[in-house]
Amino acid sequence: MSTLNVDALVGVSSANAITVRGEGSATTSLQQGLAKAWVNFNGTGTPAIQDSLNVSGITDHTTGDYTLLIGNDMANASYSYQGTSSNWETASNADSYIGVSGTHGGQATTGQRIVTYRERYDSATPQFKDPLTVNLTVHGDLA
């Protein structure tokens, strides 16, 4: 068996997906399987993008309320997105976590509005918080 090592695979045009045939008859579309946008940003104070792909900015609406601005629009607003964030607490606190959730009606071809909220497993009420690190990933088709 031979091994082919390459630095990049390029399709004939942007409309053509690159496919890889594995053992047997299964194929994988590399273009469809890749994240179309992702970001790691500091949510405290004025949000600061630490690293990203296809993200033109972050809008800070209020505490724990942001909009991810996608650089090259998505084909439709039915893409998939995932989010995680660091714990808001500055010290190790085993009963406090940060959740990331999309807002109702906040998904558009140009971006995704999310909220980050502190979840506690004691008597404290959940509340919106600005975590040190927020990570978002978007999968779907670009326009």
In a domain, 30, yes or no: no
In a domain, 18, yes or no: no
Report the half-sphere exposure of 132 (CA within 13 A, side-chain side).
7
In a domain, 116, yes or no: yes
**What's the domain range around 88?**
35-139
Alpha carbon distances (Å) from 114 to 38, 62, 91: 14, 11, 25
- What tokens were used for 125? 């009420």
In a domain, 98, yes or no: yes
Q: Cα torsion for 88, 90, 93, 99, to the nearest 10°?
A: 10
pLDDT at position 79 is 95
pLDDT at position 28 is 53
Give the pTM. Answer: 0.77
The tens-digit pLDDT sequence of the chain (143 residues) is 677 665 555 555 555 555 555 555 555 556 666 899 999 999 988 999 999 999 999 999 999 999 999 999 999 999 999 999 987 666 665 666 788 999 888 899 999 999 999 887 777 788 899 988 999 999 999 98
In a domain, 14, yes or no: no
- What is the spatial distance between Cα 7 and Cα 115, in angstroms, rounded to a whole number? 38
In a domain, 16, yes or no: no
In a domain, 19, yes or no: no
pLDDT at position 6 is 59
In a domain, 133, yes or no: yes
Number of domains the chain is built from: 1
